[in-house]
Amino acid sequence: MKVDIAVIGAGTAGASAASFLAPHVSVALIDRADVPVWRIGETLPGAAHRVLMAIGAWQSFATAGHGAAPLKVSRWGSDEVVELDSFRDPDGAGWRLDRARFEADLRADAVARGARLVVPTTVLGLKRLADRWEIALDTGKTVSARQVVDASGRQSRLVRPFGQRRIVMDRLACVYQRVRQRGAADPSTYTQSTPEGWWYTAMLPDGYRIVAFHGDSDQPSIRTLMREGPLAVGVQTDGLADEIGSFEPASISSPQVCAANSAAGSSAGEGWFAAGDSAIALDPLSSQGLFNALVTGLEAGEAALAVLGGDMDATQAHAARTGRIWQAYAAHHATYYGMERRWPTAPFWRRRLGGHSAAHASSR
Ligand SMILES: Cc1cc2nc3c(=O)[nH]c(=O)nc-3n(C[C@H](O)[C@H](O)[C@H](O)COP(=O)(O)OP(=O)(O)OC[C@H]3O[C@@H](n4cnc5c(N)ncnc54)[C@H](O)[C@@H]3O)c2cc1C
């Protein structure tokens, strides 16, 4: 297959890039997953409305039945409950997504606008030729493209051989379980800090509740939570237990763990762009990962199109824009973690109280 632009990864960032590009140039949107399945990460801020409009995805989003997220409740910095309602947000209430549906709709929108979906196919590697990329697929076939957008997520390594630098800022990991809730659906999201990290719980639109603990992967808390399960520990945690409420024990899923660390990467080089988590991966505390994926996907698409049109400065401009997003995020991250001062000697908080500079930093 020969196209102008290959987008690797049909998650939020890749679908956003492909949706923008498809009306203008030929686009292959490649993903190893045949259809999107449920994944953790469901809150989307109200500001996403503008980006969904810009990529032609608002119509399907608005009719998909995602839940509203009108209220954020937290115990952070003290035991006092703080409520933040969407009246203070100029963009209005955000959403609690049906994540699989969200990604499936984004893919379908990209295809409706002209992208060629290539699934289920894993990209094995890239080869740079004089003026094109040769993209090796696990089917033995190749895709030939003039530009590549790497949107293959947090673990991506595809553009490292072509100059992408990436720094991992901390060791944050998440252990989570899902359970079917009994009683009325509560649309609020809830966050609570503890000496070892922080909890998050929210109702998903399908009637299940997610209960998640975030801590450092080298600390005993993550292993304990994997052994005992976040729900069993959560219902014994003051404050959180009330938020979790009543549930159907037979519906509890087994504990899962995943990386949730912050990572800053370079987002553009000769012939390639990175978008979403492949460029910058954000702490789930920010609830900005999906929004960032939509925005940087759109911007990577705009930059790739500009380069095809002869604007060679677009590469550097994309890298600079992503760098500014990272700077704003890092400042916000330091401020928010800095609001919790109760356990300054606990390893989790000691590592974060100095902001990112005090956090574990390593290249990988
Ligand atoms: C615990 C946790 C909670 C989170 N909660 C939230 C939240 O509430 N709100 C929020 O906004 N964000 C949240 N996030 C972050 C959010 O999930 C990510 O920022 C978002 O998924 C990034 O989208 P992406 O498209 O860049 O990458 P991904 O969603 O990871 O998509 C990458 C795609 O690339 C495909 N792929 C990967 N490698 C290959 C390959 N070699 N070949 C072919 N295909 C490939 C994958 O199949 C996948 O479809 C959370 C993250 C974590 C870890």
* Residue 15: closest CA among 137, 102, 131: 102
Q: In the chain, what are the domain boundaries? A: 2-67+97-169+262-326, 172-259
CATH number of this structure's domain 172-259: 3.30.9.10
CATH number of this structure's domain 2-67+97-169+262-326: 3.50.50.60
* Residue 98: closest CA among 33, 152, 36, 32: 36
CB of 20 closer than 6 A to ligand 1?
Answer: no
Partnered with residue 85 across adjacent β-strands are 71
CB of 103 closer than 6 A to ligand 1?
Answer: no
Average pLDDT rounded to a whole number, residues 274-296: 97
By alpha-carbon position, which residue is closest to atom 3 of ligand 1? 41
Residue type at 3 in one-letter notation: V
> Does 362 have pLDDT greater than 70?
no
Predicted confidence at residue 155, as pLDDT, reads: 92
By alpha-carbon position, which residue is closest to atom 6 of ligand 1? 41
CB of 213 closer than 6 A to ligand 1?
Answer: no
Q: 254-285 as b/e, with b when 16 or more CB fall inside 10 Å?
A: ebeeeebbbbbbbbbbebbbbbbbbbbbbbbb
> Does 364 have pLDDT greater than 90?
no
> Does 77 have pLDDT greater than 80?
yes
> Does 188 have pLDDT greater than 60?
yes
CB of 31 closer than 6 A to ligand 1?
Answer: yes
Full-model pTM: 0.96
Token pair in block for residue 237: 């945690």
Strand order in the sheet with 263-265: 280-281, 263-265, 166-168, 362-363
Predicted confidence at residue 183, as pLDDT, reads: 85
> Does 76 have pLDDT greater than 60?
yes
Average pLDDT rounded to a whole number, residues 130-157: 97
Residues contacting residue 300 through CB under 8 Å, at least 6 positions apart: 13, 17, 149, 151, 267, 268, 273, 274, 275, 279, 318
